[in-house]
Structure 1
Amino acid sequence: MSEFSNALSVSASALRAQATRLRHVSENISNADTPGYRRKSVAFETVRGPNDTDLVSVGRVRLDQSSLERVFDPSHPLADDSGHYDGSNVDLMIEIADAREAQRSYEANLKMFDQSRQMSAGLMALLRK
């Protein structure tokens, strides 16, 4: 029975990790037009869980250090003497692709969680007979 709980723990940790990733992607999308905003990304790490199970954990949030877009708008309050200011380094195409990938991974882990739960319930039903 512990194999079923291990499978549930692994998929639950992956669900939490993908949910965190989606949260950061949505923050990036919502701040795409914020001057000086740097894109956030998360890395996943493996941590040892109960029963020596490898679980997924979210590592540190990293800020993208690529250069910020220079925007020309002399009427903007942050514009310098040349009429430019620093925009954000968020690329909406990358964010949409990341969101889609995180969504698919979330769905796959949810399916794994449901399959483990169904197999566990099936085993319990067999043991009751």
Structure 2
Amino acid sequence: MGNDLLTSLNFAASGMETQAMRLRHVSENIANADTPGYHRKVMSFDEAMDTGLVTPGPVRLDHSELQTIYDPGHPLADATGHYQGSNVDLVIEIADAREAQRSYEANLRMFDQTRQMTQSLFDLLRR
């Protein structure tokens, strides 16, 4: 039983750590939404084959087309008055942030419930 509780704590902790990293990348994307030439970062999730724990996968750059912005007064504008903005879509980033937050909270609840069960087990053993 103790090993099962430890495994549950490890699963929840790995999920929280991965979602925290995902939130960090989403925050960087939002912070750089107005940075010319910025490609948003995307992260995948991997499952360790031997343990089943969730781990952050490699961070990749989204190579979708950059937004073309017309602003003749911008220092990076070409002869036509255009420059390359970022490919960050704030709606997508906010949705990703909410999804990561909810997943983090679910893992936190699992971690807390496991901790409470462990405490109850210890209380029973002390009697």
TM-score (ref. length: structure 2): 0.96
Instruction: Find the residue that maps to 1:9 and give its secondary structure.
Output: helix
Within 5 Å, give how 1:87-98 maps onto structure 2.
87-98=85-96
Within 5 Å, give how 1:45-56 maps onto structure 2.
45-48=46-49, 52-56=50-54
Q: Give unmatched runs, 5+ long, in structure 1.
A: none
% identity of equivalent residues: 63
What residue is the counterpart of 1:24 in the other structure? 25
Measure the CA separation in 2 of the matches of 1:115 and 1:44: 24
**Structure 1 residue 81: Cα displacement:** 1.1
Q: Give unmatched runs, 5+ long, in structure 2.
A: none
Within 5 Å, give how 1:1-129 maps onto structure 2.
1-48=2-49, 52-129=50-127
Q: CA RMSD in A?
A: 0.8
Measure the CA separation in 2 of the matches of 1:7 and 1:47: 15
User: Which residue type is aligned with residue 4 of structure 1?
Assistant: L
**Structure 1 residue 17: Cα displacement:** 0.1
How many residue pairs match? The answer is 126
Whether contact under 8 Å (1:6, 1:53) holds in the other structure is no
